[in-house]
Structure 1
Amino acid sequence: MYRLPKHRLLIADDHPLFRAALTAAVADAVPEAIVEATASLVELLAKLDAQPDCDLVLLDLRMPGSSGFSSLIQLRGLRPDLPVAIVSGEENPLVIRRAIDFGACGYIPKSASLGVIGEAVRAMLDGNEWLPEGLADGVDQDAAEQALTRQIATLTPQQFKVLMALADGRLNKQIGYELSITEATVKAHVTAVLRKLGLYRRTQAALLARRLLDASAGSLTPPMDELQSDVADED
């Protein structure tokens, strides 16, 4: 007898108790689902390599190897076809709106009941977007922020890694060593990042990257007086 293929989900959260609760909620809502859990971005990427047929990732905003929107943007760059939903204790409507603009298919607050989590998972497995009722209503980014969000989404995975390295003040030589590429290639990536984001200096890119790592940042576009940074510009 023909059987429908099982759904495969990956849960990425470094809190064991919540990871167990989320796994239970998914198992109750989708009994036939195959559910695996990870506690870091490195583990998540390894599992995705081993199991490329994943149907949905439930991703915490903060866990080892990632912070803020960095893991979401990285996953969207590597697997644009893979639905990724955020599961977070952060319930700021602006953060929820920004997650959706960065490509998340849903946003589940950690305060939600197991029943609501199950409802959300079923909706997203059916191809629908799911948002907490009332939390994302009436929140819109301004035109400049929306444009920047779209531009960030155009970065290649390697360009995004370079952008994140700039947040830590890494020099081109250091970035090249960490990514196993030449310094000339790093410079080319930095130039491409600046061009795509409409920026002129790597200090601006570094500040933007820091705000991506801080999901609660009020705006991704810092005022001009914040552009005086201790991050050195390189030729």
Structure 2
Amino acid sequence: MERVLIADDHPMVRDGLRTVIAVAFDQCELFEASSLEEAAAIIEREGDFDLVLLDLNMPGVVGFSGLVELRERFPSVPVVIVSAAQERGLARAALAAGAAGFVPKSLRRGAIVDALKTVLAGNFYAPEMDEIEAAEMIEDADIQRRLDSLTPQQKVVLKLVVAGKLNKQIAYDLDVSMTTVKAHVSAILSKLQVFSRTQAVILVNKVKFGQDS
């Protein structure tokens, strides 16, 4: 690990994390930010980081809004939520929102290091998450990345496919030609990395795509 950004509005927390990382990861270059705006500015200026450790509750941040903003602006940078809150389901919600890990501030130093190493190895980390849960989170995140690659119009078409509509019904509903619908469906299958409409429906149902509409 070469570059880490610690974003927390409490200086003592930043000092503690800096000490843990400096001892565990030799010659790691550390950056600090006391606000989300400062964190974003540092990433913009300095480029990619191996990890961003982001406090869940900072001024001006509501829920996972800070996490979502960083993930949207810097999708290649893994963000680990570091939080004093440990409500049930919070860690899973953080991972679902795009975090690479969820590290409680109450963890002992060795456990924090182990958690960061887990994330650096390309895996998700959350307290007490077993292997099955971790595998499910990785699969869900992969499916979501594929869905995010679809254009808005392709997502509309996919929702109609999930609803069980045939190409001619989709063409009628969207007032487009059959050729256009077929082109959209072909592109959707390619981006989702599946070979049939049925496979596409099964895949996206795992993340409940279209079920909120």
Q: Is the 8 A contact 1:87 1:107 kept in 2?
A: yes
Give 1:65's aligned residue.
60
1:22 aligns with 2:17: yes
Secondary structure in 2 matching 1:86? strand
Letter in 2 for 1:107: F
Letter in 1 for 2:2: H
**Could you tell me how far 1:63 is from its partner in structure 2?**
1.0
Q: In the TM superposition, what are the counterparts of 1:73-222 in structure 2 within 5 Å?
A: 73-132=68-127, 134=128
**Could you tell me how far 1:31 is from its partner in structure 2?**
1.5
Q: Indicate how the Cα distance of structure 1 residues 198 and 15 shifts in structure 2: closer, same or farther if over 3 A, else same.
A: same
Q: Is the 8 A contact 1:123 1:129 kept in 2?
A: yes
Identity between Structure 1 and Structure 2 (%): 38
Question: Cα deviations across residues 95-135 of structure 1 (Å, max 9, x unaligned)?
Answer: 11110011111100011011111111222222222111x26
Give 1:10's aligned residue.
5
**Could you tell me how far 1:23 is from its partner in structure 2?**
0.7
Look at both structures and tell me which one has the larger radius of gyration over its CA atoms. Answer: 2
Q: Indicate how the Cα distance of structure 1 residues 85 and 136 shifts in structure 2: closer, same or farther if over 3 A, else same.
A: farther
Greater relative CO, 1 or 2 (CA 8 Å, sep 6+) = 1
Q: Indicate how the Cα distance of structure 1 residues 13 and 66 shifts in structure 2: closer, same or farther if over 3 A, else same.
A: same
Q: Is the 8 A contact 1:12 1:57 kept in 2?
A: yes
Q: Indicate how the Cα distance of structure 1 residues 137 and 61 shifts in structure 2: closer, same or farther if over 3 A, else same.
A: farther
Q: In the TM superposition, what are the counterparts of 1:30-49 in structure 2 within 5 Å?
A: 30-49=25-44
Question: Cα deviations across residues 157-216 of structure 1 (Å, max 9, x unaligned)?
Answer: xxxxxxxxxxxxxxxxxxxxxxxxxxxxxxxxxxxxxxx99989xxxxxxxxxxxxxxxx
What is the TM-score with the length of structure 2 in the denominator? 0.60
Q: Unmatched 5+ residue regions in structure 2?
A: 134-139, 149-208
Give 1:183's aligned residue.
none
Secondary structure in 2 matching 1:127? coil
What is the TM-score with the length of structure 1 in the denominator? 0.54
Q: Is the 8 A contact 2:8 2:34 kept in 1?
A: yes
Aligned length: 144
**Could you tell me how far 1:60 is from its partner in structure 2?**
0.6
Q: Is the 8 A contact 1:108 1:120 kept in 2?
A: yes
Separation of aligned partners in 1, 2:212 and 2:108 = 43
Q: How large is the Cα RMSD of the aligned pairs? A: 2.9
Separation of aligned partners in 1, 2:132 and 2:104 = 18
Letter in 1 for 2:99: A
Separation of aligned partners in 1, 2:55 and 2:32 = 12
Separation of aligned partners in 1, 2:93 and 2:131 = 13
**Could you tell me how far 1:36 is from its partner in structure 2?**
0.8
**Could you tell me how far 1:13 is from its partner in structure 2?**
0.5
**Could you tell me how far 1:94 is from its partner in structure 2?**
1.0
Higher helix share: 2
Question: Cα deviations across residues 9-52 of structure 1 (Å, max 9, x unaligned)?
Answer: 00000111111001111111112211111110110011001111
